[in-house]
A = this chain, B = another copy of it.
């Protein structure tokens, strides 16, 4: 499984995005991350493992506690891939076939056809 598969897949879960949002405020231990959600500790532990595998968080061990924080690596990797789409969108913005596409599409919907 490709890195990006794992990373995007990790981000597709709302609980994991919420965990990341929480970690954006600063690091937190596993139990601190369990509290705000109505999930069990094992469930959160597994979500953390997924995030860790994706390179989106890192953990250290401090006694019995394992504080987590955001990891730059995975986030940067995702960002680099998306950059491709971003530039494609701005690049295509003024290209002829795009403009023609819009025009044709509009002409059709003026005639009451479905665009879906």
Using a CB–CB cutoff of 8 Å, the interface residues on chain A facing chain B are 2, 4-9, 11-14, 17, 20-21, 23-27, 58-62, 67, 69-70, 72, 75, 78-79, 81-82, 84-86, 88-89, 92, 95, 97-98, 101, 104-105, 108, 113-116
Contacts and interface: CB of A to CB of B under 8 A. Distances in A.
Number of copies: 2
Given A4-B17, A14-B5, A88-B70, A101 B27 contact: yes
B14 A2 contact: yes
A84 to B, nearest CB: 6
Nearest to A78: B82
B82 A86 contact: no
Contacts of A20: 85
